[in-house]
Amino acid sequence: MKSVKAAAPAMRIHRALARAGIASRRKAEELVAAGRVKVNGVVARTGQTVNPSSDTITVDGTKISAPVSTVWVMLNKPAGVLTTKSDPGGRSTVFELVPPAPGLTYVGRLDYMTEGLLLLTTDGDAAHALTHPKTGVERTYVATVRGNAPNAVVSAKKGVELDDGFVKPDHVEAHPVGDRLWELSISISEGKNREVRRLCEALGLEVLRLVRTRFGPLELGSLPTGSARPLTSRERKLLEAVAKGTG
């Protein structure tokens, strides 16, 4: 998958540095505050707006390249892969499964054994908005479980108290899949850490497999496990509308 270069829009200086792969947005703000960043030969100000396509931006005297157009990627994350930049233990990470891009970050985590739809982008502001609790982006998971799923569905619809608060799925249903196993579909908006697994445990269900099939308006579809693809123009617009609170 290749990115197509395009004229970069005007943006805050810390975002331009992050998009160019210099540092995270927080670290970029620290670079600016320390006076290590210049725009057209003048020391940059915190919050300053720049245009990476026309302004000359340097960090410690080294010119940075203008960032490419915003990258959005959908990955079908396999089980046994970490949602992190790197792992000291040498385990595989999601970044090994997608083309490299400066400033690429994930939009919310999937835990080590959870599979399915994971979005990655170079738009850090959108990533933050899409995972912020106030945005309330709905995610759908399909869990293969063992236990009394019909009773669990009844309880889940009433809501369940977890250690970190009350959880009530937006939608939940169960279908038998044979061998005393059930396929449990859960749509949820809270976004707490390992929420679906902890919910199932509280309901007395053993989770054998967990796959995220939807994130907001986007569906995983037939994307093969371990494969990634760029989002379509329509998908990008849908996500950006949700991130801005207009979707």
Residues involved in catalysis: 111
Return d(Cα 159, Cα 190) in angstroms, integer. Answer: 12
Phi, psi of 103, rounded to the nearest 5 degrees: 80, 10
As a dihedral over the C-alpha atoms of residue 49, residue 122, residue 69, residue 1, rounded to 10 degrees, the angle is 170
Strand partners, 38: 43, 58
CA nearest 157: which of 179, 172, 139, 147? 172
Contact 144, 181 (CB under 8 A): yes
- Please provide the distance, in angstroms rounded to a whole number, between the alpha carbons at the two ends of the chain: 28
Tokens, residue 11? 């943006």
Return d(Cα 192, Cα 14) in angstroms, integer. Answer: 28
Angle at 183 between CA 179 and CA 187, to 5 degrees: 170
CA nearest 143: which of 96, 201, 87? 201
17 three-state secondary structure: helix
